[in-house]
Structure 1
Amino acid sequence: QGDEKWMVKDGVFEKIYELSGGAQLGMSSADIMQAMARGMNPEEFSQLITRGVSSETLSSQFSAEKAREVEQTKKQRKFWMVLNTELIVYGATEPDASVTLMGKPVRLRPDGTFSIRMALPDTDIDIPAVGVSADKIDEITIMPEVHKRTHYSKKEKELSL
């Protein structure tokens, strides 16, 4: 019951994310789900997203042959599952400072706080955050390192008569 007051509807969170400037940093969950639904296997997807491929490029990666192959597989077995992860990077600084995350500017809230939500594929990634004082005299760099691996397993049981 207590958790419900902290829950945010996806549409609201997506809007907050977009306003924070995070939409420019990587693919959204919707982009990821579309790629997976189109039949891209997790390994292909991880390779593409690690190289920073946009959702438009991702869409063009699917040939008609691949689409037919995916449809045939779906007809044979309808069960499927997708699991994605996201990373939320958040922090605070002086309200008049400037912040970049992975080289891209981050919009600060009036109180100096910020948060960025991004897709987290299987990868090793450094996330440099640089804060610069309004007078450009002071600079602080913080760099989290993220190492993420997902293991996939699919079992199909034999039907007994």
Structure 2
Amino acid sequence: MSLSKLRSYTAKDLAQMARQRGFAKWHSMRKDELIAALVSVGVKEPDRSRNAPSDDAGGDAEAASQRAAAARPRRVTAAQKKLAEMQKHRKRLQDLSVTTATATVDRLLLLVRDPYWLHVTWEIAPASVARARTALGQHWHGAQPVVRIGKLSDDGSVAGTRQVKVHGGVNHWYVDVADPPSRFRAEIGYVDVSGQFYSLARSNEVQTPEAGVTEVGENAWSDVARNADKVFALSGGYSHDGPSQELRQALETRLRRPLGRPTETRFTSSAAVTDGSSLDVQLEADLVVRGATEPHTHLTIQGEPVPVREDGQFAVKLPFPDRRQVIPVVASSADGLHQRTIILGVERNTKALEPRRRDTAAS
């Protein structure tokens, strides 16, 4: 084989020829050394059909295959689609600003629904979530949005904290609490896997009322909007420190109507003017009797059986007419051997005062 013919082969092909002819150090030879060694033994031209393609040919084929693969549209498998949907859903659940994307400031309001339930509502700006993502860094992937409910002591310090997991896609949450009456404050933010908490907003302070009619009355409030004035009052709207302007503004904005006592709102031009004589007011009252006894005690109030809870507590709502009443409460032990009676005397005396007309000229 001629020298020029050998030079047309690649180093890999030449090394294969040298190996087949028993050269001891073929694997360490350079191309020129392989050519010289093969010329010295008078090597013949190999059968190209029985040898592997050269590096150049293989490289060209591989490059062509890659170009063809890139030109073809990429097929997305069902598993890849499902994974993308899961990632999108998880991102939405983690983002507290999903429902308040137009918000420019962060706001967290804590409302009292009844002695045992608080209502937390929030507005979080997307920029605040972005800052939280930057602050948590590599821990953001496992961060969980939470609301922290802090129970306050008499001096205003936090006596205990409860952490409630929430998620994006909503802007309010109901939280159950205990031991009424108690004072609470809330914070919303993110907690990472190490327990580090990043706060976005802090709420107003509220105090739950003592357990009473709401514990044994009809159904619990079904809608904050329908009972907004009462929610406003229970949430500190009429506290001795003065009405909460932030709380009032948030509720009035959402409800699109004023809150508060009539003397604190403006009369509109369509308001009816009366002399007070046609202003009719009907007043009804209920009496709540509650207490505690031994569990499994048989209890009657005014001759009617009253259920006793597992902890021995009981509560019942009675009519409270405008007169004096004597209410017998009879408790009998479960075995019927012991009985105790307590007489409760109450009186209701309702008086209607003379009507007054408020001078609106100075308003």
Secondary structure at the counterpart of residue 143 of structure 1: strand
One-letter code of the match for 1:146? Answer: V
Runs of 4+ in structure 1 deviating by more than 4 angstroms, as ranges, are: 10-13
Query: How has the CA–CA distance of structure 1 residues 7 and 124 changed in structure 2, closer, same or farther, with 3 Å as cutoff?
Result: closer
- Give, in whole Å, the separation in 2 of the partners of 1:4 and 1:108: 28
One-letter code of the match for 1:140? Answer: R
Instruction: Answer whether contact 2:322 2:350 (CA < 8 A) is retained.
Output: yes
Query: How has the CA–CA distance of structure 1 residues 16 and 149 changed in structure 2, closer, same or farther, with 3 Å as cutoff?
Result: same
Which residue of structure 1 lines up, in the alignment, with residue 299 of structure 2? 99
Equivalences for 1:1-161 in 2 at 5 Å?
Answer: 2=183, 4-6=207-209, 13-15=216-218, 79-155=279-355
Give how far 1:156 is off. 6.2
Query: How has the CA–CA distance of structure 1 residues 12 and 108 changed in structure 2, closer, same or farther, with 3 Å as cutoff?
Result: closer
CA shift digits 1:104-137 (9 cap, x unpaired): 0001111111011123121111110000001101
- Give, in whole Å, the separation in 1 of the partners of 2:219 and 2:316: 9
Q: Which has the higher contact order (CA 8 A, sep 6+)?
A: 1
One-letter code of the match for 2:209? Answer: W
TM-score by length of 1: 0.51
Which residue of structure 1 lines up, in the alignment, with residue 173 of structure 2? none
Which residue of structure 1 lines up, in the alignment, with residue 240 of structure 2? none
Secondary structure at the counterpart of residue 355 of structure 2: coil
Q: Percent identity?
A: 29
One-letter code of the match for 1:5? Answer: T
- What 5-or-longer segments of structure 2 have no aligned partner? 1-181, 184-205, 221-276
- What 5-or-longer segments of structure 1 have no aligned partner? 18-76
Instruction: Answer whether contact 2:300 2:331 (CA < 8 A) is retained.
Output: yes
Bigger Rg, structure 1 or 2: 2
> How many residues end up aligned between the 2 structures?
101
